[in-house]
Structure 1
Amino acid sequence: MRKRVAVMDLGTNTFHLLIVEGHPNDLKELRHDHVAVRLGEGGINKGLIQPEAFERGLNTMKSFQQYIEYFDVKEVKAIATSAMRSAANGKDFMQQVKAETGINIETINGDNEASYIFYGVKASDILGEKNSLILDIGGGSIEFIIANERQIFWKQSYEIGAARLMDKFHQTDPIPEDAVSAVHQYLDEVLESFYTAAKKYHIENLVGSSGAFETFAEIAERTKGNNFDLKTLKSYRFDKQELVKLTDKLIHSNHQQRLDNPYIIPVRVDMIVVASIVTRHLMKKLKINSICMSAYSLKEGVLAEMLS
């Protein structure tokens, strides 16, 4: 009997729905949606889901429920992360979703989130013998996982996601140099525990988990005139110099230039700037030359658990 399951990853910026059937090594994707809900818009650092964002989230969950019914899925898991975890009205949102759709949303802590991300990235076959830093830049939090293909050595989730950093530092466009320096300083203060762990475990590779790294990869390939289809990709390896040039251009760009770039999805048009700053700062700080992208992340980790 082929198992049919639905996984929802309800992030700060985007709500994902993935419906598949089969076994871990033989999966058929029935539906894959991602909706730019922007749950943290206007309230992420105030710890509140604003009314418009609340409404967008609720409507998206209603449409997800229709697909779950259409594909007759019996096993459903909805995981909420940073924005819902930290919002004063996060519980109200979950209760209303339950009342109107029957979907039970489960909030997970940063530690569990990091574990799921590791299992998702592991399934993309990008991890090897050498130690990697898996970096998942979400809207609300960033997960730092030091691991190889066999195990996690250290992990932590920090509430410094792209939406929070943007709200705090990116008020003028293009972002001024002093604001970029302020982001660097802030990261160094917040990430002290990570830097201590990085010294202990020699990190050879940086693996960016989906999100902004998908955008970096698409821009890199499309500007060379190559085809790029995320649906057929599990992972991607960057040319370091290419990535440095590309992120440099994004950091110095203005809103209109990014908006006009067909390879940046609307929800990432502004957040890609702080995501670029974080990526570049860590590459430099850790002296990393090998950078990859895993198209698999939290939802694939949850999926692996459900189908195991």
Structure 2
Amino acid sequence: MRHEQIAKSITEAEALVGREELIGSIDLGSNSFHLAIARLDHGEVRKVASISEKVQLAAGLDENNVLSGEAMQRGLNCLHRFAQHVTEVNPSLLRIVATNALRKAVNAQEFIRRANRLLPRPIEVIAGREEARLIYLGVSHSNASTDKRLVIDIGGGSTEFIIGQGFEPLEMESLQMGCVSFTKKFFADGKITETAFDNAMKTTETELLSIAKRYKRVGWDNVIASSGTAKATLLVLQELGLADEFITIEGMMKLKHQLIKIGKVNKINFEGVKAHRQAVFPAGVAELYAIMQTLGIKQLGYSDGALREGVMYDMLGRSGDEDVRDRSIAAMAERYSVNIKQANRVMTTCARLFESSKDKLDFDDEDRDLLRRAANLHEIGLAIGHSNYQKHSAYLLEFSDIAGFSQAGQAMMAQIALHHRRKLKADALETVENLGGRKLLYLCLILRLAVQANQSRTTKAAPISLKIVKKDHWQVSVGEGLHAELIGTQLNADVVQFAKWGVVLEVA
């Protein structure tokens, strides 16, 4: 995203949002939960409140990635407190994102359902590369520069690596290593030994093998880290007289020996290491030191801006005219050679059906955008094969890395695309409703009607109209135009399919 686009977007968002209105973000990290509340001030996000609490969700994952009841309760207690701080934030200007621990937890939905009862907005679980994109957005706005930079963010369960220039990320990766998971693996007994330290570093080096050559080939001018581990490390190095504004490889070597000399986690007594970070500090230092060694980094700086700031700037882009989700959809359409004319015909019909039904079906702007984006890409599966291409479309929508979307957002688009043709299955109804309630079901059916109306792939086809008698009783009529009889026949064939999902369809 170019600087002028960002600036224009934020200016527009400022006009829409209002300078006096608060915006907020909550980051459910694997180690800590973070809350940030800010105001818009001449295009800049100015934080007015920032709270972090150690929750250590990742520490509550067992060998089968089941999140313990105790870890869940720690998280819920924290979110209960956070909810009291965001009462003055308009829910439409609040985003809540969750990262690696809830990506991995097999029972994440149990926690999310309970947490959503406490919060004014639903939690969005974001993929690793989306987390990386948002981190870079936060760093690039907090530390403006035209240099090509490598950004490193060591979290509790994953570590993100981004090379970018200006506001545009060029390379993004999320690796499965972090200070909480490494603490469980290498420092669980609370002892800081050379063996434990070296094993943590070797594991880091192994994980980096997948990206090291590519990242070195792309290159960077400078390096910046944006995590609690980096902040604590810099503060301790300054306390020991081993750093000024940069973390150096020489300082890291000396800090390693200092920690081994201390010997036990509970004896760490640096002012720069808060009590809640004490247990995970050695693991974080080992990982950061190994990253610097493996990538040949002599020194790196620290950025206070990271994921939660990136979430807010991304939200402002959505309020203006620079919604990264639309750029992502356009890029996918191009990549998979979507027939743009047909997609536009289907989207136009969807938009008309949506407008005629939105009041009766309680749709909002987010529902409109979800339907539009799914309609745009409902045929991308044709790039793989024609037979049952709706399944290919659904797979690509759910499992691709699509910038700007949460995992749930992609899954909902996938369900809409999956059910636009062929028989509707009664057992799929539960999946759809669990994911997005009856509204998602209605969006699936609207796309289905729009596709049926455009089977002839011409703008001269007879138009259809939709009347909602009541939520589960629909009337669709066919106007004058080409293939009116054929369209009517196809719609009548769908009466049985709609009934499987509890919706009465009458065709006039």
Structure 2 length-normalised TM: 0.54
Q: In 2 relative to 1, CA 45–34 (structure 1 residues): closer, same or farther, beyond 3 Å?
A: farther
**Deviation per residue, 1:130-175 (Å, 9 max, x gap):** x432111100111111223353221110121111112122234433
1:250 deviates by 3.0
State whether residues 60 and 70 of structure 2, in contact with CA within 8 Å, keep that contact through their aligned partners in structure 1: no
Aligned to 1:202: 219
Where 1:96 maps in the other structure, the secondary structure is helix
Aligned to 1:33: 51
1:50 deviates by 1.4
Aligned to 1:160: 177
- 1:68 counterpart (86, 90, 101): 86
1:126 deviates by 5.9
Q: In 2 relative to 1, CA 191–44 (structure 1 residues): closer, same or farther, beyond 3 Å?
A: farther
Structure 2 Cα separation of the partners of residues 118 and 247 of structure 1: 28
State whether residues 44 and 163 of structure 1, in contact with CA within 8 Å, keep that contact through their aligned partners in structure 2: no
Question: Does residue 1:124 correspond to 2:134, yes or no?
Answer: no
1:123 deviates by 1.2
**Deviation per residue, 1:169-190 (Å, 9 max, x gap):** 2234433323333223322332
Structure 2 Cα separation of the partners of residues 238 and 281 of structure 1: 13
Q: In 2 relative to 1, CA 177–239 (structure 1 residues): closer, same or farther, beyond 3 Å?
A: closer
Aligned to 1:110: 128
Query: Aligned residue pairs: how many?
Result: 297
Question: Does residue 1:192 correspond to 2:202, yes or no?
Answer: no
1:292 deviates by 0.5
**For 1:79-90, what aligned pairs fall within 5 Å after superposition?**
79-90=97-108
Percent identity, aligned pairs only, is 26
Counterpart AA for 1:159: Q
State whether residues 27 and 98 of structure 2, in contact with CA within 8 Å, keep that contact through their aligned partners in structure 1: yes
Structure 1 length-normalised TM: 0.87
Aligned to 1:232: none
Identify which range, 47-56 or 97-106, moves more after superposition.
97-106
Q: Which has the higher contact order (CA 8 A, sep 6+)?
A: 1
Q: In 2 relative to 1, CA 24–58 (structure 1 residues): closer, same or farther, beyond 3 Å?
A: farther
Q: In 2 relative to 1, CA 108–287 (structure 1 residues): closer, same or farther, beyond 3 Å?
A: same
Aligned to 2:24: 6
**For 1:1-308, what aligned pairs fall within 5 Å after superposition?**
1-2=18-19, 3-23=21-41, 25-43=43-61, 45-69=63-87, 71-74=88-91, 75-125=93-143, 127-129=145-147, 131-223=148-240, 236-238=245-247, 240-253=249-262, 254-258=264-268, 260-308=269-317
State whether residues 47 and 88 of structure 1, in contact with CA within 8 Å, keep that contact through their aligned partners in structure 2: yes
Structure 2 Cα separation of the partners of residues 251 and 148 of structure 1: 38
State whether residues 174 and 252 of structure 1, in contact with CA within 8 Å, keep that contact through their aligned partners in structure 2: no
Structure 2 Cα separation of the partners of residues 27 and 124 of structure 1: 9
1:212 deviates by 0.8
**Higher-strand-fraction structure:** 1
**Deviation per residue, 1:109-141 (Å, 9 max, x gap):** 001000001111111226542x43211110011
State whether residues 23 and 38 of structure 2, in contact with CA within 8 Å, keep that contact through their aligned partners in structure 1: yes
State whether residues 120 and 302 of structure 1, in contact with CA within 8 Å, keep that contact through their aligned partners in structure 2: yes
State whether residues 120 and 301 of structure 1, in contact with CA within 8 Å, keep that contact through their aligned partners in structure 2: yes
State whether residues 27 and 308 of structure 2, in contact with CA within 8 Å, keep that contact through their aligned partners in structure 1: yes
Q: In 2 relative to 1, CA 62–256 (structure 1 residues): closer, same or farther, beyond 3 Å?
A: closer
1:265 deviates by 1.4
Counterpart AA for 1:153: L
Where 2:272 maps in the other structure, the secondary structure is coil
Counterpart AA for 2:47: E
Counterpart AA for 1:274: A
Structure 1 Cα separation of the partners of residues 38 and 230 of structure 2: 24
Unaligned 5+ segments in structure 2 are 1-17, 318-508
Q: In 2 relative to 1, CA 28–125 (structure 1 residues): closer, same or farther, beyond 3 Å?
A: closer
1:283 deviates by 1.7
Structure 2 Cα separation of the partners of residues 77 and 257 of structure 1: 38
Counterpart AA for 1:151: E
Unaligned 5+ segments in structure 1 are 229-235
1:24 deviates by 6.4
State whether residues 18 and 33 of structure 1, in contact with CA within 8 Å, keep that contact through their aligned partners in structure 2: yes
Counterpart AA for 1:47: N
Where 1:281 maps in the other structure, the secondary structure is helix
State whether residues 194 and 260 of structure 2, in contact with CA within 8 Å, keep that contact through their aligned partners in structure 1: no
Over the aligned positions, Cα root-mean-square deviation in angstroms equals 2.5
Higher CA-based Rg: 2
State whether residues 236 and 271 of structure 2, in contact with CA within 8 Å, keep that contact through their aligned partners in structure 1: no
Structure 2 Cα separation of the partners of residues 247 and 118 of structure 1: 28
Where 2:38 maps in the other structure, the secondary structure is strand
State whether residues 134 and 311 of structure 2, in contact with CA within 8 Å, keep that contact through their aligned partners in structure 1: yes
